């Protein structure tokens, strides 16, 4: 199962009031394992940057002035997410902005079923406890010291760690979860095997290291168990 852990930064709280997206970040998970693939884009909002928003993410009008507008990056963004599930903290906020931008760019909307809200999941698992991203990092012992300001890609990377912990740890298939805990994720706990590499990685062993190893094995004598293994 492919998922994109996603975050946005904006100029404000409401697209209906003329606020726009200024940054999108997303990291790819396949069967709950990070693949190393990510998406990151700064966006020119074609408007001023309110001081309150600037204090949150530090993105100025001057910095964003030469960045592409959303309509110019919309197709690449849609190609990257490819209709797969979006894992978002407070999904309603980001989906509202993404769909507003897609509408202004005359692109297809994202359906609400495509988003999975980690904020809702955290509130179900820890009723009454703080459920912000920073609070969840403290709960799970996740290092967020680099998060001096909000940043879409960094926050996506941190959220990916939080998401795995919310599902029971980085190897949720081994977690002894109850049926009620599984229901918190909407029945989405995957059980598919992890994909295998299409080709083996090349050996990092040098020829000198290989010869030294062979000499060591030879010194152990003919009855050493290592002698029963043939080198390929």
Strand order in the sheet with 33-42: 33-42, 21-30, 2-10, 85-88, 115-117
- Which 8-state DSSP code applies to residue 149? S
The H or E element that residue 85 is part of is strand 85-88
> Please, where are the H alpha helices in the chain?
51-57, 61-64, 70-81, 91-104, 118-125, 133-140, 152-166, 179-183, 207-219
Q: In a 3-state reduction of DSSP, which class is residue 2? A: strand
Active site residue 213: no
Q: Exactly one of 57, 89, 150, 213 is catalytic; which is it?
A: 150
Buried/exposed 164-185: b ≥16 CB within 10 Å, e otherwise: bbbbbeeebbeeebeeeebebb
Q: In a 3-state reduction of DSSP, which class is residue 49? A: coil
Closest by alpha carbon to 168, among 209, 140, 132?
Answer: 140
SS3 content of the chain, % helix, strand, coil (to 5): 45, 15, 40
- Which 8-state DSSP code applies to residue 110? P
CB 1 within 8 A of CB 192: yes
Residues annotated as catalytic are 150
């Amino acid at each position: 199962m492919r998922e994109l852990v996603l975050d946005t930064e904006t100029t404000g709280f409401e697209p209906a009031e003329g606020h726009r997206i200024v940054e999108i970040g997303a990291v790819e998970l396949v069967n709950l394992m990070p693949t190393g693939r990510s998406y990151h884009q700064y966006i020119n909002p074609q408007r001023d940057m309110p001081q309150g928003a600037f204090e949150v993410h530090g993105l100025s009008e001057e910095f964003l002035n030469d960045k592409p507008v959303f309509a110019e990056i919309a197709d690449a963004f849609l190609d990257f997410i490819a209709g797969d599930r979006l894992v978002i903290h407070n999904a309603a906020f980001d989906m509202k902005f993404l769909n507003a931008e897609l509408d202004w760019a005359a692109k297809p909307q994202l359906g609400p079923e495509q988003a999975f809200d980690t904020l809702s999941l955290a509130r179900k698992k820890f009723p009454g406890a703080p459920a912000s991203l920073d609070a969840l990092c403290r709960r799970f012992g996740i290092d967020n010291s680099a998060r001096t300001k909000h940043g879409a890609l960094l926050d996506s990377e941190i959220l990916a760690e939080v998401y795995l912990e919310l599902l029971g740890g980085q190897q949720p298939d081994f977690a002894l979860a109850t049926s009620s805990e599984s229901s918190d994720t909407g029945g989405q706990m995957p059980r598919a095997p992890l994909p295998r590499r299409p080709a083996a990685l090349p050996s990092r062993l040098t020829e000198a290291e290989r010869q030294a190893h062979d000499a060591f094995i030879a010194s152990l004598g003919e009855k050493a168990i290592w002698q029963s293994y043939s080198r390929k």
